[in-house]
Amino acid sequence: MAELTDDDTATAVRWRIVALLAGFSLVSYALRTNISIAAALMRSDLHLSQVQLGQIFSAFLIGYAVFQVPAGALGDRFGARLVLTVAAAVWGLTTVMTGALPGIVTGAAGTLTVLMIVRFLLGAAEAATYPVATSAVGVWMPASERVFANSLVIAGMALGSAVMPPVISRVMVASGWRAAFYATSILGFLIAGLWWWYA
């Protein structure tokens, strides 16, 4: 059996980093799309209109759009390890809050407001994903491998969108829509911990 060289070890580390970044992409899409799967049950339970659901969905996108540039600047200033760790931890926290706060805050206006705020914060935190992941790929990967590495990161987006809907649906059927948010929040905390430990 051939011995591993320093170059072999460095290559393995680089591709593990890329795998984790693809994991970030997967989790980010899982946590942004979970509400669209839960929407019908949430609407009935929380007495929300279609217009109000649209406002909640839009709050995420506004946060996501507004914080793209600031998130990239934070990545440049503080590095991918810290920024992506904090971002993913916020994903987990806001996903828990999406399930919990509508039971604590009462009234249609209060429920709508709190969900819009929480989803805005999720969007703001998710804005870091691709700018900072692209920067991390640039740091960890040689120029000859960066395009392929970035394609793997982006593939996580489609994988998260494809894999999570049936999983979330099963959780909702078994335990309710709130449980689906609690269960998927674990992914945010998990990827944050793995990234902080390994990167």
Per-residue model confidence as pLDDT tens for the chain (199 residues): 334 345 666 788 999 999 999 999 999 999 999 999 999 999 999 999 999 999 999 999 999 999 999 999 999 999 999 999 999 999 999 999 999 998 888 787 899 999 999 999 999 999 999 999 999 999 999 999 999 999 999 999 999 999 889 999 999 999 999 999 999 999 999 999 999 999 8
At 6 the pLDDT is 52
Kindly report the backbone phi and psi dihedral angles of residue 198, in degrees, each rounded to the nearest multiple of 5, phi listed first: -95, -35
Q: CA dist 164 to 29, 30, 31, 60, Å?
A: 9, 6, 9, 19
Q: CA dist 67 to 73, 84, 89, 139, Å?
A: 10, 14, 17, 22
Compute CA 182 distance to the chain's CA centroid, rounded to the nearest angstrom. 14
What is the helix (H) or strand (E) element at residue 13, kind and residue range? helix 6-46
3 state SS of 106: coil
3 state SS of 102: helix
Tokens encoding 11: 């290559």
66: left (phi over 0), alpha (psi -120 to 50) or beta: alpha
User: Tokens 């989790």 correspond to what residue?
Assistant: 27
The structural domains of the chain, ordered by start, are 12-198 (1.20.1250.20)
What is the pTM (predicted TM-score) of this model? 0.92
- Which DSSP state fits 47? T
Kindly report the backbone phi and psi dihedral angles of residue 48, in degrees, each rounded to the nearest multiple of 5, phi listed first: -100, 145
User: Tokens 């640039």 correspond to what residue?
Assistant: 138
Residue 33 to residue 4: CA distance in whole angstroms: 42
